C-alpha cells in the first residue's frame, strides 16, 4: 500500500497501475523466507486490503494534499549526545506537507480503533515524537513550534479513513531523551535479560517471535 501511494505522489502513476505496483511489491516481500503471515492469512485477503486501503487514501486523503515535503523519507540523526553515549534515531516517515504537517498511513477495518484507544497514542505514542524530532533536525520546524502529526487510519474496505492528531513539542522530545537514556543505562549495566512484560497486545504468538520461549512455555491460549 505504501508503495502504491508513493508511486502516485512521486511519479504521478495512475490509480490502477499504482495498485498493481503495490501488489507486485507485496509479492516480492512475501517471497522472502523470513516473511510471516500474522493477522491476515491468505494472499487474496492481503491483496484486497492493499487495494481497499489505497482507495481509502486516494479518494479521501489525496485530494487534500499540497506540495509534498516528505514521502517515504528515510532519516538518521544524532538525537542525544552526552559524554557517556550517543543516541541515534532512524526510520522512514510516510508523508509531510505544509498543510497537514506529518502524516502516517495505517490500515484497519476497525472504525472505532482511534475513537476508543486514540487517547493512548496521543499521550504515549513514541512514533509521533520521533518523527517530530526528525522534522526539527531537517529544519521543517523550529523548537518553539508544535509539530503537527496525524495518524491516518485507512479503511481496508476503501471507505473514509479515521484521523487522529497527535501533535508534538520540544517537551515531548526532552522526555524521550530521558526514556532512551534510562534504556541505554539498563543495557549498559549488562543485566542478563529484559524485564518481562505482558501488558500489551503484541505479547502474543501472532506478533512475537519469542512468545513460545517466554509466556508460551507456561500456558497456551
Strands (E), the chain: 68-81, 86-97, 101-108, 149-155, 162-165
Alpha carbon distance 128, 70 (integer Å)? 15
Q: Are residues 87 and 35 in the same domain?
A: yes
Residue 100 carries which DSSP code?
A: T
Q: Are residues 209 and 157 in the same domain?
A: no
| Residue 204 belongs to domain spanning | 197-221
Residue 36 carries which DSSP code?
A: -
Total domain count, the chain: 2
Residue 140 carries which DSSP code?
A: S
Cα 118 to chain center, whole Å?
A: 14
∠ CA 113-160-122, rounded to 5°: 35
Q: Which residues contact 137 (CB under 8 A, 6 or more apart)?
A: 75, 77
Alpha carbon distance 53, 94 (integer Å)? 14
**Each residue's pLDDT expressed in tens, for the chain with a length of 221 residues:** 999 999 999 999 999 999 999 999 999 999 999 999 988 999 999 999 999 999 999 999 999 999 999 999 999 999 999 999 999 999 999 999 999 999 999 998 887 778 888 898 899 999 999 999 999 999 999 988 999 999 999 999 999 999 999 999 999 999 999 999 999 999 999 988 888 888 887 888 888 888 888 888 887 65
- Helix, strand or coil for residue 111? coil
What pLDDT score was predicted for residue 220? 61
Per-state percent for the chain, helix, strand, coil, to nearest 5 = 45, 20, 35
What pLDDT score was predicted for residue 12? 96
| Sign of the torsion angle spanned by Cα atoms 65, 149, 181, 171 | positive
Q: Are residues 88 and 157 in the same domain?
A: yes
Q: Are residues 202 and 176 in the same domain?
A: no
Closest CA to 70 of 121, 2, 124: 2
Alpha carbon distance 61, 97 (integer Å)? 12
Where residue 156 sits, what CATH number does that domain have?
A: 3.90.320
Q: Are residues 115 and 216 in the same domain?
A: no
What pLDDT score was predicted for residue 218? 83
Amino acid at each position: 500500500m505504501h508503495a502504491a501511494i508513493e508511486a502516485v505522489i512521486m511519479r504521478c502513476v495512475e490509480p490502477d497501475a499504482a495498485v498493481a505496483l503495490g501488489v507486485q511489491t507485496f509479492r516480492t516481500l512475501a517471497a522472502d523466507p523470513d516473511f510471516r503471515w500474522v493477522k491476515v492469512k491468505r494472499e487474496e485477503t492481503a491483496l484486497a486490503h492493499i487495494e481497499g486501503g489505497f482507495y481509502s487514501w486516494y479518494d479521501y486523503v489525496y485530494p487534500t494534499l499540497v506540495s509534498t515535503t516528505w514521502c517515504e523519507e528515510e532519516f538518521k540523526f544524532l538525537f542525544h549526545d552526552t559524554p557517556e553515549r550517543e543516541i541515534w534515531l532512524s526510520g522512514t516517515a510516510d508523508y509531510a506537507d505544509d498543510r497537514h504537517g506529518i502524516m502516517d498511513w495505517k490500515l484497519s477495518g476497525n472504525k472505532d480503533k482511534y475513537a476508543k484507544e486514540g487517547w493512548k497514542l496521543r499521550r504515549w505514542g513514541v512514533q509521533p515524537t520521533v518523527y517530530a524530532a526528525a522534522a526539527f533536525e531537517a529544519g521543517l520546524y523550529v523548537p518553539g513550534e508544535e509539530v503537527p502529526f496525524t495518524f491516518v487510519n485507512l479503511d481496508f474496505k476503501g471507505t473514509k479513513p479515521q484521523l487522529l492528531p497527535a501533535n508534538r513539542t520540544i517537551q515531548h522530545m526532552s522526555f524521550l531523551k530521558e526514556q532512551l537514556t534510562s534504556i541505554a543505562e539498563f543495557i549498559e549495566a549488562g543485566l542478563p535479560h529484559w524485564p518481562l512484560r505482558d501488558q500489551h497486545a503484541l505479547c502474543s504468538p501472532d506478533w512475537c517471535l519469542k512468545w513460545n520461549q517466554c509466556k508460551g512455555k507456561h500456558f497456551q491460549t
